[in-house]
Amino acid sequence: MAGEKTGLQLLDFWVSPFAQRCRIALAEKGLAYESLPQDLSNKGELLLRVNPAFPGTPPLLPADPFARAHARFWADYAEKKVFDCGTTLWKRTGQAQAQARPEMVEALRTLDAELGDKAYLAGEAFGFVDIAVVPFATWFLGYGRLAEFSVEEVCPRLLAWAKRCGERESVAKNLYPPEKVYEFIGYLKDTYGDK
Amino acid sequence: MAGEKTGLQLLDFWVSPFAQRCRIALAEKGLAYESLPQDLSNKGELLLRVNPAFPGTPPLLPADPFARAHARFWADYAEKKVFDCGTTLWKRTGQAQAQARPEMVEALRTLDAELGDKAYLAGEAFGFVDIAVVPFATWFLGYGRLAEFSVEEVCPRLLAWAKRCGERESVAKNLYPPEKVYEFIGYLKDTYGDK
């Protein structure tokens, strides 16, 4: 397949289940593409450009396999539970919105319990899981107002943790105040929410 | 940050938790990048080029939200359980490899039970979850030989399902015979496995 119609290029590897998924899906959709077989033991310029790696920089994930899996689990939890449930809160109305309320409270309580008395979700030092979860913290205020619960009562340790994370320059410079995020949630609701 | 050293460009959106994660991680790694703010209600050429969508093609995921979540769950299961455990089987030796054996058997039994008497993991018709899981089926023979179990005994329904999937042109043209995959696993073991 020449790919002249779609412009799609697949960085391909014959036996990779991930490449195979793409090939099957493209075939099911009838989309032409250009297969670019990759040498994974000697990565080419295009593969490295779209998957850049910077081995000289500080690693964000822990070295220990169990700790890595743990960090990924909680990053995934925030993404799947907190974000998806939050979207239901601003986007939907009635029954769907009402069901999302206890789910959000439960998700925040679970994250609060996971943090416990640790300084960071990653442990003593700020790490991958903190980076992955802290952006959602700027949305908590909005979630609490939409679902009419007190974030301070539901997840007090998580709020203290978010403030602690905010003392790092990397976080302080790249997040926005919860009030500004709440204004944005109002815009989302007005523009894209169910009427 | 001008991004002249790394060439990194971030398709950015100020309040998105996903963009915020990237910005914090880049700051922690001290990597310069060019922030390219995106209008998500009117997506630009670059954003569409790296995230192409083809609304005129057959949808792969079901329309029902519960069914979509279900399909994503089992796609994720195959990826996290079967693939990761399979990697341990060919890469590691001794205790680590021995521990992965019952885990693989359990994962395949679980997938077999989930399939049950359905024609496809997606139900009556081939769908997203079948596309996501069937590439791993070509690796089952190799996993069984490495871990010394009979795939036919552990997951007979899953093998029949893989064969059924293989009757589709999209699958038949894009997967390789299990024996050829097993040869490749031998190469992986010899080249990258623990000695």
Chain segment A119-153, per-residue pLDDT in tens: 999 999 999 999 999 999 999 999 999 999 999 99
- What's the rounded Cα separation, in Å, for the pair A54 and A59? 9
Between B7 and B61, the higher pLDDT residue: B61
Q: Is A60's CB within 8 Å of B25's CB?
A: yes
Structural domain spans, chain A: 9-50, 65-192
**Confidence band of B3 (pLDDT split at 50, 70, 90):** very low
Q: What angle do CA A140, A144, A148 make, to 5 degrees?
A: 175
**Confidence band of B50 (pLDDT split at 50, 70, 90):** confident
**DSSP-based three-state secondary structure for B151:** helix
The DSSP secondary-structure symbol of A58 reads P
Q: Is B52's CB within 8 Å of A8's CB?
A: yes
Q: Is B73 on the interface with A (CB under 8 A)?
A: no
| pLDDT tens track for A71-84 | 999 999 999 899 99
**DSSP-based three-state secondary structure for A1:** coil
Give the number of A-B residue pairs with CB atoms closer than 8 Å. 110
- Average pLDDT over every residue of B58-85: 92
ipTM tops 0.85:
yes
- What's the rounded Cα separation, in Å, for the pair B10 and B127? 33
Q: Is A23 on the interface with B (CB under 8 A)?
A: yes
Give contacts of B135 with chain A, Cβ < 8 Å: 16-18, 20-21, 24
Strand partners, B10: B35
| pLDDT tens track for B146-181 | 999 999 999 999 999 999 999 999 999 999 999 999
Supply the CATH classification number for the domain A65-192: 1.20.1050.10
The overall average pLDDT reported for chain B is: 94
Q: Supply the pLDDT for residue B80.
A: 87
- Average pLDDT over every residue of A2-11: 75
Give contacts of A17 with chain B, Cβ < 8 Å: 79, 83, 135-136, 138-139
- What's the rounded Cα separation, in Å, for the pair B99 and A65? 15
Q: Is B24 on the interface with A (CB under 8 A)?
A: yes
Tokens at A38, concatenated: 């990759």
Q: How many CB atoms lie within 10 A of CB A12?
A: 16
Q: Is A136's CB within 8 Å of B23's CB?
A: no
Chain A residue with Cα closest to B165: A24
Does residue A2 carry a pLDDT above 80?
A: no
Give contacts of B14 with chain A, Cβ < 8 Å: 176
Burial of B168 (0-12, 13-18, 19+ CB in 10 A): middle
Does residue A4 carry a pLDDT above 70?
A: no
- What's the rounded Cα separation, in Å, for the pair A6 and A4? 6
Give contacts of B184 with chain A, Cβ < 8 Å: 15
Question: In CATH, which superfamily holds the domain spanning A9-50?
Answer: Glutaredoxin (3.40.30.10)
Chain A residue with Cα closest to B59: A29
Does residue A46 carry a pLDDT above 70?
A: yes
Tokens at A81, concatenated: 């539970």
**Confidence band of B14 (pLDDT split at 50, 70, 90):** very high
